Structure 1
């Protein structure tokens, strides 16, 4: 079996993990029938994923956190962008939250309107479809 025998720098390893979560969301949305676009560079627009059903487009920001609880604050890093949806994954557990983008500087993960999901395709899509 192949084994990775080389050292991966901590920053690079974290980027790989974050990108893996984005790829998971891309896969789940594609399986749900969405057209999915990935920006070559999202710097300045805070858009990790762009989705469309044909006439409508939605910008998604994916965040990974190591929360101590569901009350953990998520920091708004998409201020003044056109992000519509934020997906937050708990790296140290098997759950996450999907939420409409908000404008205040911080908000608790489990705030009203934020929908918790288990890190599975079906549960993520259930939560995603409940967004207003």
Structure 2
């Protein structure tokens, strides 16, 4: 089970919301001192728990920055959070879209390509292990 460290400061959650489970991505992860993360910042096709994993990574990144870079101005810290997380979130969204669409296609060429890719992935050794660790947030 993933646990985050106790924070040396207090904060209040002012509001929450719900969003449909389709691909969406915020243009900004913060405005002023308001920050969005997890499904509020990026939604993803619900495959293999990747949405929650991305949210956990967002939280860990923000906590790490708040704890280890507290000397930075808040705007700089939040820009760094956005810069660190946005590319990873977009990459995983795109990968899950490709995987989902590829797995649903009945076109012969796509089916053959899917079979080759899955066979190659299954037998890729260390590459497979690295991809699995990345997907699990390790």
TM-score range, shorter chain: under 0.3
- More contact order relative to length (CA 8 Å, sep ≥ 6): 2
Structure 1 or 2, whichever has the larger Rg, is 2
Structure 1 length as normaliser, TM-score?
0.27
Structure 2 length as normaliser, TM-score?
0.26
